[in-house]
Structure formats: C-alpha cells, structure tokens
Amino acid sequence: MMYPVLQVALGGAMGATARHGVNVGAARLFGPGLPVATLAVNVAGSFLIGVLAVVLAGRGAAWSPLLMTGLLGGFTTFSAFSLDALALWQRGQHAGAAGYVAASVGLSLAAVAAGMAVGRPA
C-alpha cells in the first residue's frame, strides 16, 4: 500500500485535473458569466464524499487519503466558491451572488445526504 502522503498527492493531482476539465467544459457550454463549474464540482463533490463516507467507514479507511482528502480535496474548492461569490457581489449582481451562495450550500448539503443514502447498504 502507498504512503498516505503519496495517496493525497496522487489523488489531488487527479482531482485538480478533473476540476480543470469541468471548468473548460462549463465555460464552453455556459460562458464566463456565472460560476457554474464551481457550483457543479461542489455539489458533485459533496455527493461523492457522502457516498465515500458511508462506503469507506470502518472497512476502507486505507483509501480515504487517496479518495477523500486527495481526489475530492483537489476537485472541490471552497476558496473558488468564495471568490466567485464575492466577484458577483462586487459586480453589482447581488441577487445572483445571494442565489449562488444559497444554491451552493443548499445543494451541497442535499448532495451529501443523498450520497450517504446511496452509499448505505440496502
């Protein structure tokens, strides 16, 4: 098995690469106006961390550094969310900023709950 620090590094590289792909794809599909990519990765990452929290609990802890800390840590970025929200606010798009914050937090919380429900054995 790989050292945890190497797992985090490898997972982080994979997650950051995946995030870049989402950024490029979202910019092509939706343009640069709204931070759709950040919203998408935060919701998807929240769902996946919910699934992994259940699936890895007690039996897959060795995979946690690679998947949870590395992959999902590199994929989702709260700092980008904060910057995007502030940029909307500073451009005078106050309703857009408030809606973006509410959607990001609400959908991400719902995605974690959904992920945990999916990850639980039937």
Residue 79: which pLDDT band, with cuts at 50, 70 and 90? confident
Is the pLDDT assigned to residue 58 strictly greater than 80? Answer: no
Residue 67 burial (CB count, 10 A): 21
DSSP label of 91: T
Q: Round to whole Å and give the CA distance between 49 and 37.
A: 18
Instruction: Provide the pLDDT for residue 1.
Output: 66
The mean pLDDT of the chain is 92
Instruction: Provide the pLDDT for residue 2.
Output: 80
pTM: 0.79
Which H or E run includes 40?
helix 36-56
Q: Round to whole Å and give the CA distance between 47 and 116.
A: 8
Among candidate residues 106, 111, 103, the one with its CA nearest the CA of residue 84:
103
Q: SS3 of 58, please?
A: coil
